[in-house]
Amino acid sequence: MTNRHGTHLEALAAELERELMHRYGSPLLTGKKLSEAMGYPSIHALRKHMSQSTFPVALFTIQGRRGRYVLVKDIAFWLAKQRIEHQCHVEEERPNER
């Protein structure tokens, strides 16, 4: 990744982190909020993917509490990385010149 992409990635991740913090009001997410933030269609789809080794962000537990958690910062970085690495480049359609 070039330096320009790295800088863009950091800026986009910071912006997404602010938006997620504003929306969810917490630096960590679990359950329905986590599935929404990561774009899963349902909590069941999220749980299924969480049980696989390919889950894209770090999961952790908190002693004395049930469930697994993800930091908003990690979600924001993952979303920004997906956006930059998998951006679709659609060519503009130009009318035929006669």
Is residue 1 within 8 A of residue 60, CB to CB? The reply is no
Identify the pLDDT of residue 90: 58
Identify the pLDDT of residue 87: 79
Residues contacting residue 12 through CB under 8 Å, at least 6 positions apart: 80, 83, 84
Buried residues in 42-53 as b, exposed as e (16+ CB within 10 A): eeeebeeeeeee
What pTM value is reported for the model? 0.81
Identify the pLDDT of residue 88: 72
Identify the pLDDT of residue 73: 98
Between residues 50 and 90, the one the model is more confident about: 50
Give the count of beta carbons closer than 10 Å to the beta carbon of residue 75. 23
The residue ranges of every structural domain in the chain are: 3-85
> pLDDT tens digits for 23-65?
999 999 999 999 999 999 999 999 999 999 999 999 999 999 9
